[in-house]
């Protein structure tokens, strides 16, 4: 489950005379479910996996009632909570030329988008993660992925991003964006993912 992409509201509400517990699974930034949540009371379990799926339970009982809410209801009933939640994580991707630490020209403007998005989020931080295609050895690809992530971090610093707001990681060829046979040059896997959180 990608916990940074799906937001969960756990709210205690007053209903008639007895308080109840309400759990709503909110969608990710694109309006889709990006994970699931298992709500448990006693021996009963309820899996929430669709946007705005909800579980209701009277306080002090083991009964879970499935249901659904809506964007309008959540906005109306929980506006004050939504206003104080942190911004959703965002992800940006830049690509590289084969066997090189050189960004493709068409992805250079993405770095300016990252800088602008970070400037609008004063408490935000960037995680820069290097990836490669699956041509070559694990060791060589791990080093190339780290080199690529470092290049991107350096370019962000050159654009005015404080280095202490950036962490650098490398995944080599272990997390391809596109599944391909071994030793296949796939341009979409030669990338750095920049996560703003």
The per-residue pLDDT for range 115-139, each reduced to its tens digit, is 999 999 888 999 999 999 999 999 9
Domain end, chosen from 84, 118, 141, is at 84
52 backbone φψ class: left, alpha, beta (φ>0; ψ -120 to 50): left
Domain end, chosen from 84, 104, 136, is at 84
Residue 35 is given by DSSP the state S
Residues 94, 77 within the same domain? no
Residues 42, 113 within the same domain? no
How many domains does the chain contain in total? 2
In a domain, 2, yes or no: no
Domain end, chosen from 50, 84, 118, is at 84
Per-residue confidence at 30, pLDDT binned at 50, 70, 90? low
Residues in contact with 97: Cβ distance below 8 Å, sequence separation at least 6, in sequence order: 103, 104, 190
131, 139, 137, 145: which is closest to 175 by C-alpha? Answer: 131
Strand partners, 58: 20
93, 157, 78: which is closest to 130 by C-alpha? Answer: 93
Residues 96, 192 within the same domain? yes
Is it the case that residue 7 has pLDDT exceeding 80?
no
Using a pLDDT cut of 90, give the percent of the chain over it: 58
Residues in contact with 144: Cβ distance below 8 Å, sequence separation at least 6, in sequence order: 99, 101, 130, 132, 136, 172
Residues 66, 99 within the same domain? no
Per-residue confidence at 3, pLDDT binned at 50, 70, 90? very low
Residues 50, 101 within the same domain? no
Residues 63, 116 within the same domain? no
pTM, two decimals, is 0.64
Mean pLDDT score of the chain: 86
Once rounded to an integer, what is the mean pLDDT over residues 92-114? 91
Residues 128, 191 within the same domain? yes
Residues 167, 190 within the same domain? yes
Higher pLDDT, 56 or 166: 166
Residue span of the structural domain in which 180 resides = 90-196
Residues 112, 192 within the same domain? yes
Q: Which of 8-17, 75-84, 106-115, 169-178 shows the lowest mean pLDDT across its residues?
A: 8-17
Residues 44, 138 within the same domain? no
Residue 32 is given by DSSP the state S
C-alpha to C-alpha distance for 113 and 186, rounded to whole angstroms: 25
Residues 79, 107 within the same domain? no
In a domain, 168, yes or no: yes
80, 84, 86: which is closest to 4 by C-alpha? Answer: 86
Residues 66, 115 within the same domain? no
């Amino acid at each position: 489950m990608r916990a940074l992409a799906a937001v969960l509201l756990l709210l205690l509400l007053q209903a008639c005379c007895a308080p109840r517990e309400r759990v709503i699974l909110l969608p990710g930034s694109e309006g889709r479910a990006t994970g699931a949540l298992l709500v448990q009371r006693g021996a009963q379990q309820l899996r929430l996996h669709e946007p705005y799926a909800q579980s209701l339970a009277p306080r002090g009982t083991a009964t879970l009632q499935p249901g659904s809410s809506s964007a309008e209801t959540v906005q109306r009933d929980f506006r004050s909570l939504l206003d104080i939640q942190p911004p959703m994580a965002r992800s940006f991707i830049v690509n590289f030329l084969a066997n090189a630490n050189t960004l493709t020209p068409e992805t250079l403007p993405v770095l300016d988008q990252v800088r602008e998005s970070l400037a609008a989020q004063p408490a935000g931080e960037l995680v820069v993660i290097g990836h490669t295609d699956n041509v070559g050895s694990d060791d060589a690809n791990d080093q190339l992925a780290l080199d690529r992530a470092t290049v991107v971090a350096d370019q962000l610093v050159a654009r005015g991003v404080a280095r202490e707001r950036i962490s650098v990681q490398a995944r080599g060829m272990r997390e391809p964006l596109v599944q391909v046979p071994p030793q296949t040059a796939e341009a979409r896997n030669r990338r750095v993912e920049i996560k703003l959180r």
